[in-house]
Structures are given as C-alpha cells and as structure tokens.
Amino acid sequence: MTKGSAASKNLEDKNSSQLDIKSIMEEIRKRISEDVEANKDKAPAFLPIQADLSKEGNRKAGELLYSEELRHLNQNYLYPSRLNLDSIKSHRPGILGKLIVKFKRKVVSILWQNLLQDYFNAEREYQANLVRFLNDVSKYVDERDAAGFWQLVHKVDVDTSKALERVEQISDSQTAELRVTEKRIFDEINKNIAELSNRIGQLAAKVGSQEAELETLDSVARGLEGIVNRMGKNISSEVASQLDSDQQAKDYSYVLLENRFRGKEEAIAERQKFYSGVFKNSTGTVLDIGAGRGELVNILNQDGINSYGIDLDKGMIEVANEKKIDVRFGDGLAHLRSLADNSLGGVIALQVVEHLTRKQLENLFELCRQKVTKDGKIVFETINPKSILALSSNYFRDPTHIWPLHPDTLKHSMTLAGLNVIEVKYLSPVPVEAQLQEIKYDAGMTPKWGELVKLINNNIVQLNELLYGFQDYCIIAEPGE
C-alpha cells in the first residue's frame, strides 16, 4: 500500500468515526415528531379574505385560472429525484482534490439516501398535490364566478321583466282609470250639452212659433187692409153694395185663407224658383193655371220666360194686378179651349188638381196635350198624401179641396191621357229637427243593445217617411204623340 492510499483510508475512517449519520437522522426524526405532537392543537384557523367588490375592474373573469403564476407552478413544481453527483467538483488539483470530491460525493450520497431523499420526495409529492389543488381551486373559482355571473344576469332579467310587468300593470290601471274618468266627464258634458240644446230648441220653437204668429197676423192685417181699400173703391152705392156683398165675401175669404196659411209671398216665391229651370228652354208663352197672387208668373218673367196666369178668385187677381203681374180672371179649362193648338210653350198648375173632379182632370190633361208644343213642358204640383202631416195639416185645412191625389194615381191618369211623364219630384221636406230623432249608437253598447238600437232607428226612419214625408210633389211631363 502506498503512502497516499494509507492517508486517504485513515481520513475516511476518521470521518466515519466522527459523523454518525444514523444517529443524527434519528435525532432529527425524534425532534420533528415531538414538535408535531406538541403543536398539533395550534394549527392556524382558516380566515377567508372577503373580496372588495366595490373596486370596479379589480378582478376579471378567468384571471386566476389563466394567471402567469399558476402556469409557472404547473411547469416547475417537479425536480429530479436523483442526485447529480457529477456536479460536485473541487478546485484543488491532484490527488487531494480527487479525494475531496470523492469524499463530498460520498457524504452527499449518504445524506441524500438516509435524510434528504425521503424529505424531498415528500416535498415533491406535497408540491404536486398543492399544484393540483391550486388548479382545481382555480377552476372551481372560475366556474363559480361564471355560474354566479349568469345567475346574476338571469336574476337581473327576471327582476327587470317583473318590474316591466308591474309598470305595465300600473300603466294599464291608470289608463283604465283615466278612460273611465274621461268617459264620465264626457258623459256629463254631453248630458249638459243635450239639456242645453233641448232648452235652446224649446226656446227656438217658441220664438219660431211667435214669429209665425206675428207673420200670420201681419198677413191677415195686410189682407184686411187690402180688402177694405178695394171695397171702398168698388162700392159706389148702397144698392150696389147689397147686390155684390155675397160675391165679395166669397172672393176675399180665400185671400184671407191664403194669407193666413199659405205663407208670406216671399217664402212662396223662394220655393217656386225651381220651376224657372223647368221652362228655361220653352219657346212659347207659359200659362200658370190657378196663379193666385202671381208669385210664379213674376219669377218666370224676371228670368226672361214669357208667362201669364189665370185664376177664378178676384181677390187674388187684384193682389197680383196691384203689383203689375199679369194674372187674368177666368176658368182655366175654358181659357185653354179658347187657345189654338200648339200655341203654348208650357202649362203649370200648382196646388190646383186637388180642387178638380175626375172629369175636369181628364179634360185638363187632354187640353194640355193639344195646346202645348211638342218641346214644351206640362207641370202639376199637389199635396203629397203619402205624408200624414201634409194630409192632415195642408189638405184638410182647405175646404175647397175635393180629393187627394196619390203620385202613382196622378201619374197613371196623365199617362192614360197621352202625356209622357218625365219625372216625379218630391218637394217641401220637413225639417230634420221636427222629425222623430234616432237613438245615438254608442260603440260601447253590447251587441244585443246595439241590434235593438238599430232596429228602433230603422222603425223611426220608416215612421218619419210615413209621418213627415215630403209635403208636396210635382209631375213633369211632355205632350204625347
């Protein structure tokens, strides 16, 4: 054995005798066990830290799961389970340096196998479990964040929907109350307006009645004044007065009747303007049979239509002649017989045919067909018996009427006499306010009440046509072949 070998051996024996590894490890394990047993009841309590949610933007979803620190832990928690003894070197050269390196490697190997290997294996297992736990915790926290977020979104949606439903309910309730209030106010206003309109209508009716009475009194007064004036001019002696008194009373009684019930001359003239258009194309003279006070003759002459009238009432004729209106005394039928055929441009008789007998009507139609030119017009106006108001108020008021003529009857008689009927025109409508009023249909009515209201209104329309139909009608015809 060489000297160097003997020295190295002596050094190893000396180190082995001085360093008892097993006893050291036993001592360390004993102390650790004692410390663990002594402090097992002193484990620190787990105190979770509450997140400060008041700080906006402090944390973001997924920040923990995808953090750089967690990624680093997952990449570097493992380390080699074996020692790399080649990494142990010495700066001393020669045999001494080699002996020192060998000794260090031996010591490290002994320490690793008897002390550090188990510790680092346990540490590595602990770190691996810790990293896995952190991964699971990160996933759990992120999933809980996501679940909490979507739960919050759902809760916000539900709460918002409930709030909107509540708002809509309140709005509908307030709208319904508002509509009920508006309807109540409008109903009250309409009721007051209806009452006011009714009162105004009553006052207007009273005023109209008073005006009509005043006009009647005025007409009667003017008629009486005219009669008195004419009687003073025409009666020259007591004998003449005695002889003509019956005739005068007969003549002027109808003037008084006309003044009282027919209406003012201005109103009659306004209503008769329609006939000016009927004879506007007439080439000959127009004859007005039963001209009365001469209102129509005056209208036709003013419109450039040559015309004159004939009547049997001297009192009416005198009223017309005083106004320079050409109304002559005579019988209409006799006057027509005295004329040449085709010598008239037209014949019109207003409110005359109801005074004639059936035979007189036939003669009148035949004479008109003979005396009027082919392009002339023949017009007859009379009271409309289809209207009960006209029949009861207008027809029976005049004692000189013989019989009422229905439009169909008069038209048929004219056709049989050889006249070509052109048109039947109804005249003098009754004012709407004087007719039966229909019930107002309310959209809020139930279907049953709505149908009942419609039925009643239809009956009211039919009653109005029967009771308050047109007061007069006229038939326009031409001479036949």
Q: Mean pLDDT by 10-residue block, N- to C-terminus, for the chain (481 residues)? A: 46 52 78 78 57 55 67 68 62 71 73 67 75 79 79 87 89 85 83 83 79 71 61 47 42 53 67 89 90 90 92 86 91 92 92 91 93 92 90 79 90 92 91 84 76 87 87 92 71
Write the CB contacts of 386 (distance below 8 Å, at least 6 apart in sequence).
406, 407, 466, 469, 470
List, in sequence order, the alpha helices (H) in 258-383.
265-272, 274-278, 295-302, 314-322, 332-338, 358-371
Half-sphere exposure of residue 43, counting CA atoms within 13 Å on the CB side? 7
Structural tokens at position 67: 């953090």
- H or E element, residue 380: strand 372-383
Q: Cα–Cα distance between 362 and 349 in angstroms, integer?
A: 14
Closest CA to 251 of 313, 172, 171, 327: 313
pLDDT value of position 308: 94
- H or E element, residue 70: helix 68-76
**62-76: burial string, b at 16+ Cβ within 10 Å, e else:** eebbeeeebeeeeee
E strand map for 267-325? 285-289, 307-311
Q: Cα–Cα distance between 163 and 293 in angstroms, integer?
A: 85
Q: Cα–Cα distance between 129 and 113 in angstroms, integer?
A: 23
Beta pairing, strands 327-329 & 344-350: unpaired
Beta pairing, strands 372-383 & 472-479: antiparallel
CA-to-CA separations, 174 to 166, 177, 186, 275, in angstroms, rounded: 12, 5, 18, 63
Structural tokens at position 77: 């928690």
pLDDT value of position 229: 55
Q: Cα–Cα distance between 216 and 222 in angstroms, integer?
A: 10
Report the predicted TM-score, pTM, of the whole model to 2 decimal places: 0.50
* Chain-centre distance for alpha carbon 83: 95
Q: What share of the chain is helix, strand, coil (3-state, %, to 5)?
A: 65, 10, 25
pLDDT value of position 266: 72
**446-474: burial string, b at 16+ Cβ within 10 Å, e else:** eeeeeeebeeebeeeeeebeeebbbbbbb
Closest CA to 261 of 396, 392, 397, 400: 397
pLDDT value of position 188: 83
- Position of tokens 């309910």? 169
257: how many CB neighbours lie within 10 A of its CB?
Answer: 15
Domains of the chain, first to last? 60-183 (no CATH), 331-433+445-479 (3.40.50.150)
E strand map for 391-453? 419-427
CB 354 within 8 A of CB 401: yes
Q: Cα–Cα distance between 108 and 200 in angstroms, integer?
A: 128
